[in-house]
Chain A
């Protein structure tokens, strides 16, 4: 029952760590009424303390690093991290920049990666649902 409940009630907190806004537009499109994510129990929340899934977009800039760690600590266990976009997954075109400390998994345990520049909304939604599957198996 615990697994079913965790799979069917997925609250997502969206965190931009220096993205160009491309992934954010697609992520918000995925979570807006058009794709009706509410039918899967997915909901966008405004506080990391309410979240199950931390959806991260953008290359991890040095300025954002301490905030990202702080927000991650605020999400209650069990939790999963979804990296959305090539930048969040491996740094993308900003990989060699001295202002960027990507990839994200150097600092946070990333559970699902959704590649693309930007990824399409249905891919992001699939990533969130895969994250929910992982979440349901976490203790």
Chain B
């Protein structure tokens, strides 16, 4: 029986990873498609990120002469960290990957996912990677501090350290600003138009990805999509939990996907409507936007609104 249970759990976990992969690709694809439609273009198919990912797997990797082993291992570690962070976000009560303290693990993995990619870029020896890496680090310093605050707020409002237990226990009045915080966090994290200073086409070209190619680039791209997916998934789960839909088992997965598509549409509108900010502007806006939503959630919790 124990063996059967173990096999069942392993199967569920494998299915979860497949789901997470396709959901992350869906978010990236919907954003690209809708941005094109908003600009009056046909745009790429929603599954274009899958084609790009597979194409990169078929390419023969090349490496810069100045690269060291950190450069190669960074893409692999970043992919594992971002996949784990994305898989930790529950969308049903029967989530196969949950443990006490996974809120802390989520924070560390989300940070590690991008930090390792930046370190890999720095290890490539390209000066553009350095410039991009410095910019990414500046935004990360602002962003991660506020993410820690948001996860602390999640803990403070529920007294639980496991995401699957904490999410249904968040008071709805706190869940809304917290969910909006994670949507805004995804916008900052995904380096889309407004916050694309680290990969600015006219100054730093492809950013810290510049020297990656072939399968390593595929891994770096995928980890970037997964990093953008994770906070959106958390926002979606917060809304589902506030609506009491987290107990819907696999129907919750469908609702989760619909919610993700809706958030992607919101982000696509922002991508299409605003031009890129300079690095200091990006940092100030990230701090103001995320800080305001966090302060609102904390104030609502302190005032016990809706409790």
Contacts and interface: CB of A to CB of B under 8 A. Distances in A.
Contact of B51 (A5, A75, A76): A5
Nearest 3 interchain pairs by C-beta: A46-B205, A49-B213, A9-B55
Interface size class of A (residues with CB under 8 A): 20 to 34
B165 to A, nearest CB: 42
Interface string B187-211: 0000000000000010001100111
A96 B143 CA distance: 58
Contact of A76 (B43, B48, B214): B214
B275 interface: no
A120 interface: no
Contacts of B61: 76
Contact of A36 (B36, B62, B210, B212): B36
A6 B58 CA distance: 8
Given A9-B48, A49-B217, 20 more contacts: A1-B54, A5-B54, A5-B55, A5-B58, A6-B55, A8-B48, A33-B39, A38-B32, A41-B44, A41-B51, A46-B201, A47-B209, A49-B212, A49-B213, A52-B55, A76-B61, A76-B62, A76-B213, A76-B214, A78-B59
Contacts of B211: 47, 49
B188 to A, nearest CB: 22
Interface in B169-195: none
A5 B48 CA distance: 10
A45 interface: yes
A39 B44 contact: yes
B104 to A, nearest CB: 35
Q: Specify which of A2, A5, A50, A77 lies most central, judged by the most chain B CB atoms within 10 Å of its CB.
A: A50
Interface of B: 32, 36, 39, 41-44, 48, 51-52, 54-55, 58-62, 201, 205-206, 209-214, 217
A41 B42 CA distance: 11
Given A9-B48, A47-B210, A49-B210, A39 B60 contact: no
Contacts of A47: 205-206, 209-211
Q: Specify which of B36, B54, B59 lies most central, judged by the most chain A CB atoms within 10 Å of its CB.
A: B59
Given A47-B210, A49-B62, A38 B51 contact: no
Nearest to B215: A76
A74 interface: yes
Contact of B41 (A2, A33, A75): A33
Contacts of B43: 36, 38-39
Contacts of B54: 1, 5, 9
Interface of A: 1-2, 5-6, 8-9, 33, 36, 38-39, 41, 45-47, 49-50, 52, 74-78
Nearest to B33: A38
Contacts of B42: 36, 39
Contacts of B52: 9, 41
B210 A2 contact: no
A38 B45 CA distance: 9
Contacts of A6: 55, 58
Contacts of A36: 36, 41-43
Q: Specify which of B39, B58, B60 lies most central, judged by the most chain A CB atoms within 10 Å of its CB.
A: B58
A39 B55 CA distance: 16
Contacts of A76: 59-62, 213-214
B206 A77 contact: no
Nearest to A6: B55
Contacts of B214: 76
A102 B23 CA distance: 49
A3 B76 CA distance: 26
A82 to B, nearest CB: 18
B36 A38 contact: yes
